[in-house]
Amino acid sequence: MNTLEEVEAKIERLDTQIERANSDVKCEILERQKKFYESEIEKMDRTIESTTKFLDKKIEALENQLKQLDKEKRSLDYNIEKLKAALERRNANEIFDMFEFVTNSLEIIKDETSHTPSQP
């Protein structure tokens, strides 16, 4: 953004110099410089636009991955598989992850039982 402001300031100075120019040669040189800076602004605009599109696509992909991960986390099968894998590894460092998988599974079961009508 600073570069854009600097270029715009240069263009304004060039406009002022063009107005004061006494000769056609000097005026033409200043006009060329002005066109150069205007093209630089256009390049910056295109770069910003393509970067913004690129970042938007990346953000959308990450959001989709998070949604998928959340769906998996809310899956009983996912949590059971994670528990089984952790049990096979017998790694004490994973104990809190295992508690999380059990908690997720219990919440899923709780949600499923609360949505089904109770039978007499």
The DSSP letter of residue 74 is: T
Q: What is the pLDDT of residue 80?
A: 87
Q: What is the pLDDT of residue 54?
A: 95
- Over residues 38-89, the pLDDT tens digits come to 999 899 899 999 999 999 999 999 998 888 877 777 788 888 888 889 889 9
Instruction: Determine the residue type at 30.
Output: L
Q: Read off the tokens for 103.
A: 């908690």
Residue 101: exposed, middle, or buried by beta-carbon count in 10 A (0-12, 13-18, 19+)?
Answer: buried
Q: What is the pLDDT of residue 42?
A: 92
Residue 98: exposed, middle, or buried by beta-carbon count in 10 A (0-12, 13-18, 19+)?
Answer: middle
pTM metric for this prediction: 0.51
More confident site: 117 or 88: 88
Residue 117 banded pLDDT, cuts 50, 70, 90: low
Residue 120 has pLDDT above 60, yes or no: no
